[in-house]
Amino acid sequence: MMELLRRMDRNRWALLVGLLLFAMAPLIIQWIEKPFYLDLLIRITILSIAAISLNLILGYGGMISFGHAAFIGIGAYAVGIPAYYEAYSGPLQLAIAVGSAGLFALLTGIICLRTKGIHFIMITLAFAQMAFFTFVSLDEYGGDDGLVIDVRSEFGSLIDMESDIQLYYVALACLLGTLLLVHRLVHSRFGRVIRGSKSNISRMQSLGFDTYRYQLICYVIAGMLCGLAGWLLGNFTGFISPEMMDWTRSGELLFMVVLGGTGMLFGPILGVFTFIMAEEILSGITVYWQFIFGVMLILVVLFVRGGLGSIISRLGKK
C-alpha cells in the first residue's frame, strides 16, 4: 500500500512539474531571447491536440484512420475563409471550425464505420483526399496556392491572439482541456464500451451495446477536437492551404501517435515532441532526415513495445 501511495505521489509530482514547465516556458524563452523556441512550442502544443484526438479513435477504439488531417484543414479554413470576408470574430470562427469538422466526421463516419480493417483505412483516406481536392478546386480562396490570413481571430479585449505568447496560452488551455476530456471519456461507461469494442466487438454486441453508435460518437468527438487544433494552427501559421489535409500529414499524425504510444493519455504528446525535435535536429544535419527518422520509427516499433511512453511508464513504476 505504501509503495502504491509513493508511486501515485511521484506521478502527481511529475505531472505538476510538467505543467509548471509548460506554464513558465514563454518567460524562460523571453529570458534567453530565443523566440524561435516559442514557435516550436506552439506547434508542438497544437499538433498534440490533433494527435490526442487521433489516439482517441486509434489507441482506445482501434479505428485506424489515414485521413485525420482533413479535420485540421477544415478547422484552418474556418479561420481563413471568414477572414477573407473580413469576419474576424473568434467565437464565430471557432464554432465554424469545430462544427464543420464534427459534421464532416459524422457524414463520413456513417459510411466509414460500416467497414473494418484495411477497408476502413482506405475509405478514410479516400474521404480525406476528396476534401483535399475540393479545397484545391476553390480558386476563390487561393486553390492549391493557399490563402493568407492577415488578421488572427479576435476576442475583443479578452484575448489578443496577435500575441504569440497569448496564443500559446490559449493553445495550452485547449490542450489541457482536451486531455481532461479524453481522460474522462476513456474512464467512463462510454469509454469502456469503446475499449471493449476494440478488443472484442462481437462480445460487446452480444451484451446489448450498439457499438456502431458508440464508435460513431467517438469518431465525431475526435473530428471536433482535431478541428479545434486546425483552428489554432490556422491562427498560428497565418497561411492555410489544402496541403494541410494531404494524406502525408495524416501519415505524420499516425507516426506521432505510434511513436509516443497508442492507448496512453500522454503518449501522443511525447510522440509529437519527439517527432518535431527530430525533424528540427535531423533536418539541420541532412536533407534526407526522413530516412533517418524512418529507421528510428522502425526500431521503436520493433524493440520498444508500446512506444516511447511505455518506457516512461515502466520507469515510473520502479
Q: Could you give the CA distance from residue 209 to residue 201 in angstroms, rounded to a whole number?
A: 9
User: Of 306 and 39, which is predicted with more confidence?
Assistant: 39
Minimum mean pLDDT among 109-123, 170-184, 263-277, 293-307: which range? 293-307
Domain count for the chain, please give it.
1
* pLDDT value at 13 more than 70: no
Domain presence at residue 290:
no
Range of the domain at 110: 15-245
Mean pLDDT of the 10-37 span: 78
In a domain, 301, yes or no: no
Dihedral sign computed on CA atoms, order 230, 242, 268, 121: positive
Residue 236, all three cell numbers? 498560428
pTM, two decimal places: 0.92
Whether 297 and 255 have beta carbons less than 8 Å apart is answered as yes
Is residue 4 domain-resident?
no
Residue 309 belongs to a domain: no
Contact 226, 78 (CB under 8 A): no
pLDDT classification of 313: cutoffs 50, 70, 90: low
In-domain check, residue 90: yes
Please measure the distance between the N-terminal and C-terminal CA atoms of the chain and give it in whole angstroms.
15
Mean pLDDT over residues 144-157, rounded? 89
Model confidence pLDDT, tens digit, residues 133-143 = 999 998 888 88
Q: For residue 1, what pLDDT band results from cuts at 50, 70 and 90?
A: very low
Within 13 Å, how many C-alpha atoms sit on residue 27's CB side? 5
| Residue 87 Rama label (left phi>0; alpha psi -120 to 50; beta) | beta
Average pLDDT of 66-82?
Answer: 94
Q: Of 39-53, 58-72, 289-303, give the lowest mean pLDDT range.
A: 289-303
Contact 74, 227 (CB under 8 A): yes
Q: Looking at the domain assignment, is residue 10 inside a domain?
A: no
Query: How high is the mean pLDDT of the chain?
Result: 87
pLDDT of 174 reads 95
Instruction: Please report the DSSP string for 61-110 in residue order.
Output: T----S-THHHHHHHHHHHHHHHHTT--BHHHHHHHHHHHHHHHHHHHHH
Q: Is residue 266 part of a domain?
A: no
- Model confidence at 144: pLDDT above 50: yes
Q: Decide if 311 is inside a domain.
A: no
